[in-house]
Amino acid sequence: MSAVGTLVVTDLDGTLLDHHTYQYDAAQAALALCRQRRIPLIFNTSKTLAESQALASALSLHWPMVVENGSAIHLPEPLEGEPRAVILGQPRQQLVAWLQRERQRAGFSVQGFSDWSVAELAAHTGLSLAQAELAQQREYSEPLLWQDTEHAFLTFQASARAQGFTLLKGGRFFHLLGQTDKGRATTWLRQHYHTRSGQPVQIIALGDGHNDSAMLAAADVAVQIRSPVHPFPPKPAAKRVIQTELCGPAGWAQALLSLLDPQPAAAH
């Protein structure tokens, strides 16, 4: 596959980052190949901007980033006339206010990040305190730990929908957000790069969870990353679908190397 006009759009947790350790060492060879070919490597994550920027900075990446499950697209180096950020989601205060009203009204047993201290968030996620601090800096979504029955969840979900909100299932949490998802953001990115270059754009998207399905469906090549904790979600309706043998960052690297560099010189 030619690297010209190719975008790599990727989930982070459980995909580029190991589900348990949040490490990405196993992905180094593919990261290096993307860097060498100057292929845009675009995060599309439920993480916050602060968390995504910390990782991008560690990897010396300066590409656009989609954060909070398609709620906002940040363009670090906009051309003249382009915005710095495109907001597709809803402000978090509105989501949290609705959540509090729903709990009072129906007595749902559900907790959100806004109910927790940084230390509690670290304990729930396995993040360090410094990382949990960045994870708390949410602007457009509220991750939820559902502790009620399945039946109550369906009622809660219907109520969220009636309010114009979306509930997505992520790796560890449900995510309450506006009417957006990673797929809408991926379609926006395709149009953005097409307008910039005047060329057709080919998108390789990689993800491990249910909240990645819309992103994978919006791609030309959908890579489902094997998870150590759950089976593959249903196959997306993309032109080409690959399911990795290896989990997390090792599977991420294996798929990208075979797609971008069919005869890798650095095979080992």
* Nearest one of 11, 121, 8 to 55, comparing CA atoms: 11
> Residue 171, interface with Mg ion (CB under 5 A)?
yes
d(Cα 13, Cα 171) in Å, to the nearest integer? 7
> Please, which residue, 212 or 261, has the CB nearer to Mg ion?
212
Q: Measured from the CB of residue 102, what is the shortest distance to Mg ion in angstroms?
A: 26
Backbone angles phi, psi at 200, to 5 degrees: -65, 150
What is the rounded CA–CA span in Å between residue 71 and residue 170?
A: 14
Judged by CB under 5 A, the residue of 51, 68, 102, 208 near Mg ion is: 208
Write down the least CB distance from residue 43 to Mg ion, Å.
Answer: 11
Q: Which stretch binds Mg ion (CB under 5 A): 90-98, 155-163, 175-183, 200-208?
A: 200-208
Report the amino acid identity of residue 221: V
Is 249 a binding residue for Mg ion by CB under 5 A? The answer is: no
Q: Is 11 a catalytic residue?
A: yes
| 102 belongs to the binding site for Mg ion (CB under 5 A) | no
Q: How far apart are CA 162 and CA 155, in angstroms?
A: 11
Residue 11 touching Mg ion (CB under 5 A): yes
Cβ 173 to Mg ion shortest distance, Å? 11
Burial of 21 (0-12, 13-18, 19+ CB in 10 A): exposed
Inter-residue contact 98 to 90 (CB < 8 Å): no
70 binding Mg ion? (CB under 5 A):
no
Please give the Cα distance from 218 to 183 (Å, whole number). 6
Instruction: For residue 61, give every residue at least 6 positions away whose Cβ sits within 8 Å of its Cβ, in sequence order, or none.
Output: 41
Q: How far is the CB of 207 from Mg ion (least distance, A)?
A: 6
Determine, following the binding rule CB under 5 A, whether residue 18 of this chain makes contact with Mg ion: no
Task: Give the range of 99-107, 143-151, 165-173, 243-251 binding Mg ion by CB under 5 A.
Answer: 165-173
For position 209 contacting Mg ion by CB under 5 A, the verdict is: yes
For residue 6, give the nearest of 265, 261, 243 by alpha carbon: 261
Residue 14 as a binder of Mg ion (CB under 5 A): the answer is: yes
Nearer to Mg ion, 13 or 102 (CB): 13
Q: Which of 11, 208, 212, 261 is catalytic?
A: 11
Q: Catalytic site residues?
A: 11
